[in-house]
Chains A and B, each alone.
Chain A
């Protein structure tokens, strides 16, 4: 892979860490859901998209689909509603993945925002078609917050892959 200059080389990602981060994100999502606030960001979506962008061969569409299905059951929503929006979200993420990696995390957030907006639009349209209910206005805030979470969460999730700085006389690199 061609990399931008001056970027440190990362260690390979640990699959167990990926699984753990997804599980913790699901747990956090459940916890936030208990508060009953509609505007809270969907942390699970951010984590799924992050791994889609950084490890597309480990976390792909099928895992996104399964996460969405789990959310559907947990929220007692229509089965497949979140799954559809997650699948579309992660397919868009995989489509822009090569380009996105050339930018620093903060600029990635700006580019990832439209993805989250489209994903929530998909969810709204499904709800409108099926349940004939108009979405709550405060939910407009969620995609913005998700994009704002991207740099921080990204730095956190990449932390285990950063090589420890250990200067060595034999290997000066």
Chain B
């Protein structure tokens, strides 16, 4: 093949293709169409999944340097730190053990009462442990990617929690990974209940707001609300199980010119947790009575008092 610089070769005169202007207009129109499909109609998930599958080797590769550095840092980290961590966890375990015993007793009591009342029993749903891969680079949203997807049985809409409280919700599921929108994202809201008074509200993400990353919407000024009140999930939405810790109220602004108070809250979940737990949406949980063959997940002991086999623990504080 002759060494002719490419630009010297003139294209065949009848095969010029579309002009650059036409192509720009066409592709620009296609982009706008895709945006509309994604924003308004939410029908672009198949395209997304396809591209994500193609990109996944690259994404995996891009995570390796950070992982190597992390591993090295962990390896060289001093012993003291590890001992400290162990100490902390031990203290926490002891503190929890005492509470757990009380809860066990309450659970048994609750189960008996429920049976007597012939109520539907709350069952702890199926859970999946996941690991955080990375924060998305988009500076306007608060989203993370976790390392399990459709193939591992993650369902869109599932709640995501860590040791301290609710982290967010699964908003997109790809074959191998899934995307979790944090509670603090602008477009994310969660139904909550004030654990002290029992009043129900909706908390919305407010990343730029002062005094806390969540805001309670439409709280009347006269409502009983105090700084430091614990907000838990109310369980009326069919997605989040009731009683999970969500946030603590950090600031209340009562103003004269409006009938509503501005209530800010600080999420309980740890900022930089690495391991998370995905809970299936409550409405997809196996219906009572659950098939007896399925052993309870996670919780080791079976409660002796409740006769049926589906003896997984109920979430404490479910009924006000």
Residues of chain A having any CB pair with chain B under 8 Å: 1, 9-13, 23, 26-27, 30-31, 33-34, 36, 38, 55, 57-58, 60-62, 65, 68-70, 73-81, 83-84, 87-88, 91, 94-95, 126-127, 130-131, 133, 135-136, 139
B7-38 CB contact bits vs A (8 Å, 1 = yes)? 11001000000001101100110111111011
B32-53 CB contact bits vs A (8 Å, 1 = yes)? 1111011100001001100110
Q: What number of A-B contacts does a CB cutoff of 8 Å give?
A: 127
Q: Which one of A13, A80, A95, A126 has the highest number of Cβ atoms from chain B below 10 Å of its Cβ?
A: A80
CB–CB B23/A61 < 8 A: yes
Q: Which one of B3, B5, B35, B52 has the highest number of Cβ atoms from chain A below 10 Å of its Cβ?
A: B35
CB–CB B35/A74 < 8 A: no
CB–CB A79/B38 < 8 A: yes
Given A30-B59, A79-B48, A88-B24, the answer on whether A36 and B137 have CB atoms closer than 8 Å is yes
CB distance from B143 to the nearest CB of A (A): 5
Q: Which one of B8, B48, B137 has the highest number of Cβ atoms from chain A below 10 Å of its Cβ?
A: B137
Residue contacts A-B, CB under 8 angstroms, 19 given: A23-B58, A30-B62, A34-B66, A34-B135, A61-B24, A62-B23, A65-B30, A68-B31, A75-B137, A76-B141, A77-B136, A78-B39, A79-B35, A81-B35, A83-B34, A91-B20, A130-B39, A131-B186, A139-B139
Q: How far is the CA of A61 from the CA of B28 in the complex (A)?
A: 10
Quick one: which of B83-137 are within 8 Å of A by CB?
A: 134-137
Given A34-B137, A38-B139, the answer on whether A79 and B32 have CB atoms closer than 8 Å is no
CB distance from A135 to the nearest CB of B (A): 8
Q: Is the interface of A mostly helix, strand, loop or mixed?
A: helix
CB–CB A74/B55 < 8 A: yes
B47-91 CB contact bits vs A (8 Å, 1 = yes)? 110011011001101110110000000000000000000000000
Besides the contacts A30-B137, A60-B20, what 7 more A-B pairs have beta carbons closer than 8 Å?
A9-B5, A36-B135, A74-B136, A78-B38, A84-B35, A91-B24, A94-B20
Which 5 pairs between the two chains have the least Cβ-Cβ distance?
A: A33-B137, A80-B34, A84-B31, A30-B62, A91-B24
Residues of chain B having any CB pair with chain A under 8 Å: 3-8, 11, 20-21, 23-24, 27-28, 30-35, 37-39, 44, 47-48, 51-52, 54-55, 58-59, 61-63, 65-66, 134-141, 143, 145, 172, 179, 186
> Which of chain A's residues has its CB closest to B8's CB?
A1
CB–CB A70/B55 < 8 A: yes
CB–CB A70/B51 < 8 A: yes
Q: Which one of B32, B47, B51, B140 has the highest number of Cβ atoms from chain A below 10 Å of its Cβ?
A: B140
CB distance from B24 to the nearest CB of A (A): 4
The interface residues of chain B lying within 8 Å CB-to-CB of A11 are: 3, 5
The interface residues of chain A lying within 8 Å CB-to-CB of B186 are: 131, 133
Q: Which one of B24, B30, B54, B134 has the highest number of Cβ atoms from chain A below 10 Å of its Cβ?
A: B24
CB distance from B178 to the nearest CB of A (A): 11
Q: How far is the CA of A11 from the CA of B3 in the complex (A)?
A: 7
CB–CB A95/B27 < 8 A: no
CB distance from B180 to the nearest CB of A (A): 10
The interface residues of chain B lying within 8 Å CB-to-CB of A95 are: 20
CB–CB B61/A27 < 8 A: yes
Q: How far is the CA of A30 from the CA of B62 in the complex (A)?
A: 6
CB distance from A81 to the nearest CB of B (A): 6
CB distance from A86 to the nearest CB of B (A): 9
